[in-house]
Amino acid sequence: MTIENLLTSLRTDGDKITIIDQLLLPHQEKWIEVDSIEAAYDAIKSMKIRGAPAIASLAALSLASHLSIALKSDPQPAFLASPNALRDHVLPQLSYLYSSRPTAVNLGAATRRLQNTLQAGLDAGHSAEDIANALVKEGRAVADEDFGRNREMSKHGAEWLVERVKAEGGEASGLNVMTVCNTGSLATSGYGTALGLITHLFEQGQLGKAYFTQTAPYHQGTRLTAMELVTIGAPTIHAVAVGADRVARNGDTANKVGTYNAAVIAARHNIPFIVVAPVSTIDLDTPDGSKIPIEQRPGVEACLVRGAVYPPSSSASEPELTQVLLTPPALNHTTSVYNPAFDVTPAGSSPP
């Protein structure tokens, strides 16, 4: 397997941004253009793109593209007339993007990073054009840095697991790892976090089997993680590796619903439980998991299943997709369904 085999969540070509519509995977691979900040907000909110690092990258890239196009316009828009006009335009856009999915701390980190770039330019007395150019550069850097960081995290996590198994007298090959949700290339700018650890083991010939759990609200386990493992050709559980959307100061971790279940089972059976996440996911302003805001998804999402019609029609050129309701029609999907997108795993929930 080579890096070229990996799937990706987004692509850029100059100021053009396209994302793969993850709601249609694995049955259809449809790339859609994100041509405005509003389109980026919609893609994040509707989960056409998901994964904390990926949505942070898209948010930052959408602002960078917006400003880059404005700088090339003739005449330029009014918000480039002065530094204060630029500030008054950019700050609401960043707040708007952050509101799309606020549990993911990476999104907040990206928007604050751009706010700091803006403020630094204002404090230095730079022109509106210079500040806008700095914001374009910083926005693109958010996405560019993610890939290299993911590779390093994955390598460190895999090496730690190998040494742990060796220390207990085990063989450092044929390692079996379970993961939750989707934390691979589709959830990041490339390679992945927890699924990146699995990918690194596979590259080194040390992976036995990779197991994934089902995940609400959009079946990210069976749809997306399964697709990534099939794409790279990967084949007793030695560890559970998960990503994180936010890690509180005390180590409590918010991740996709079902993560806490996996942590409890891992602890019960003395299996290492590994959180693979960048430093930007650690929120030092949040003291513990009780203070992490938990995104509530529409109740109806928990009652629906989307997929390809089976058996497929022999005359269809591509899979026909449909959506079905699993719950009784009389159920009030607005008030009777509790559908949190995340749960919180307390620090110290797994064996040392």
**Residues labelled as active-site residues:** 245
The CA distance from 310 to 348, in Å, is: 44
The one-letter amino acid at 94: L
DSSP 162-225: HHHHHHTT--SSSEEEEE-S--SGGGSSSS-SHHHHHHHHHHTT-EEEEEE---TTTTHIIIII
**CA atoms of 352 and 348, how far apart (whole Å):** 8
Instruction: Give CA angle at 46 (139, 293), nearest 5°.
Output: 75
- Rounded to the nearest angstrom, the gap between the alpha carbon of residue 134 and the centroid of all alpha carbons in its chain is 25
Give the CA dihedral 311, 300, 34, 120, nearest 10 degrees: -150
| Among 279, 276, 255, residue whose Cα is nearest residue 194 | 276
Q: How many CA atoms lie within 13 A of 274 on its CB side?
A: 29
Residue 192: HSE in the Cβ half-sphere, 13 Å Cα cutoff: 32
Residues contacting residue 275 through CB under 8 Å, at least 6 positions apart: 194, 242, 243, 244, 247, 253, 255
